[in-house]
Copies of this chain bind each other. A is one copy, B any other.
Amino acid sequence: MAGSEFGTIFHISTWGESHGKGLGVVIDGCPAGLPLVEEDFTSYMERRRPNGGKLSTKRKEPDAVEILSGTFEGVTTGTPISLLIRNTDQHSQDYTAIADIFRPAHADFGFQTKYGVRDYRGGGRSSARETAARVAAAAVSTKILHSMGITFETRVTAIGGVPFEDSEAVVDESRSRGDSLGSEVHCTVRGVPAGIGDPVFDKLDAALAGAIFSIGAVRSLDIGDGHKVSSMHGSENNDSFVVRGGKVIPETNHAGGILGGISTGAPIELHVYFKPTPSISLPQKTVNRAGEEVEISIHGRHDPVIGPRAAVVVESMASLVILDQMMKNMTARLSSLQEFYRK
């Protein structure tokens, strides 16, 4: 298992390189009875596509998702769902120049050291393009979660330390110099019932953190008030429980919806910090495979900021985790098992 699999019950196995034939994912464990057609993927896939605008690469791909298996007459059958996204718009020649060079802040060096071979074209398996398969898988998990009243709100909140709505100037300035900028993404998940997550290693926040940090370029994650709580007193940070409309809820939500690894029913709040796009056209020092120090400046089509296209990836990973944990949670009580089989 080389780490391209994710999830326990709703289990996905992704594959594909930036400049290979395509990318895809096999979902094993999707419940039967979900209406699913290829149109269900369009809007979700659109959100990670380059929009050709100031904030993204000019690479354009339709990223149409083809369903190869797992549905019959438009409904899932409980068998593996294989999804295929063909690569169509590749400029491989962009990369031959750097075939033997370890790009700074990229996986090149570690990958070469680990495997001894690599597909250098566009970063190969380590390309951000890999996330297309995650988003396709999450289009399915999110459709299921929506059917249970769980919703996501995900947005870029800052670029280069500047609030998103005011950030255009810094982006222009950075891009014009051939540089890039870091960014922040916030994701709120509403409607997750209390009681989801396991007490020790599979805490809901632990599962979310593992998922979010599996997105390239993520360097930090806050859950709820995040790093700010380290400067707080318990009397400030503790959320009192109150009764509202006969329901027990935390009056405030410093905890971001999770206590002791288990959801409280309050909104789950994730704040994610992305590093600047590593590929910049400014000259940089580095080393090549021959062990010689060289200078490179990386041209080709790159996002000046990662956040805008990564927002849907953050949401996708949260969706995959939450559905999987909700499925795992169904066997927490003996009475649930007994009722299920009494039917």
**A234 and B28 in contact, given A210-B209, A263-B110 (Cβ under 8 angstroms):** no
Tell whether, in the assembled complex, residue A17 and residue B179 are in contact, meaning their CB atoms are under 8 Å apart. no
**A182 and B32 in contact, given A15-B70, A198-B3 (Cβ under 8 angstroms):** no
**A148 and B338 in contact, given A32-B117, A179-B233, A275-B229 (Cβ under 8 angstroms):** yes
Tell whether, in the assembled complex, residue B107 and residue A262 are in contact, meaning their CB atoms are under 8 Å apart. yes
Q: Which residue of B lies closest to A170 (CB)?
A: B233
Tell whether, in the assembled complex, residue B229 and residue A223 are in contact, meaning their CB atoms are under 8 Å apart. no
- Note all chain B residues with C-beta closer than 8 A to A328: 1, 9
By CB atoms of chain B within 10 A, which of A115, A219, A223, A246 has the most?
A: A219
- Note all chain B residues with C-beta closer than 8 A to A341: 148, 193, 326
The listed residue (B16, B179, B220, B230) touching A183 by CB distance below 8 A is B230
Chain A, 1-20, contact with B by CB distance < 8 Å: what is the 0/1 string?
11111111101011111001
A235 at the interface (CB under 8 A from B): yes
A184 at the interface (CB under 8 A from B): yes
Bound form: Cα–Cα A16–B199 in Å: 12
The listed residue (B78, B160, B273, B338) touching A333 by CB distance below 8 A is B78
- Note all chain B residues with C-beta closer than 8 A to A160: 230-233
A119 at the interface (CB under 8 A from B): yes
Chain A, 229-254, contact with B by CB distance < 8 Å: what is the 0/1 string?
11111111111111100101011000
Bound form: Cα–Cα A161–B174 in Å: 33
The listed residue (B68, B76, B232, B284) touching A24 by CB distance below 8 A is B68
The listed residue (B77, B211, B223, B238) touching A284 by CB distance below 8 A is B238
A180 at the interface (CB under 8 A from B): yes
Chain A, 257-293, contact with B by CB distance < 8 Å: what is the 0/1 string?
0111111100000000111111110101111000111
**A31 and B331 in contact, given A234-B280, A240-B286 (Cβ under 8 angstroms):** yes
Bound form: Cα–Cα A229–B306 in Å: 12
Query: What is the CB-to-nearest-CB distance from A124 to chain B, in angstroms, rounded to a whole number?
Result: 7
List the 7 closest A-B pairs by CB distance, nearest first: A107-B260, A210-B210, A3-B198, A3-B202, A110-B262, A161-B231, A114-B195
A329 at the interface (CB under 8 A from B): yes
5 A-B pairs whose Cβ atoms sit less than 8 Å apart in the complex: A2-B198, A107-B261, A113-B262, A200-B214, A220-B221
Tell whether, in the assembled complex, residue A110 and residue B230 are in contact, meaning their CB atoms are under 8 Å apart. no
Query: What is the CB-to-nearest-CB distance from A80 to chain B, in angstroms, rounded to a whole number?
Result: 4
- Note all chain B residues with C-beta closer than 8 A to A210: 206-207, 209-210, 213
Tell whether, in the assembled complex, residue B219 and residue A220 are in contact, meaning their CB atoms are under 8 Å apart. no
A69 at the interface (CB under 8 A from B): yes
Q: Which residue of B lies closest to A287 (CB)?
A: B241
- Note all chain B residues with C-beta closer than 8 A to A280: 234-235, 238
State which residues 184-214 of A face B: CB under 8 Å: 184, 193-203, 205-214
A109 at the interface (CB under 8 A from B): yes
The listed residue (B32, B115, B222) touching A219 by CB distance below 8 A is B222
Tell whether, in the assembled complex, residue A223 and residue B234 are in contact, meaning their CB atoms are under 8 Å apart. no
- Note all chain B residues with C-beta closer than 8 A to A182: 229-233, 237
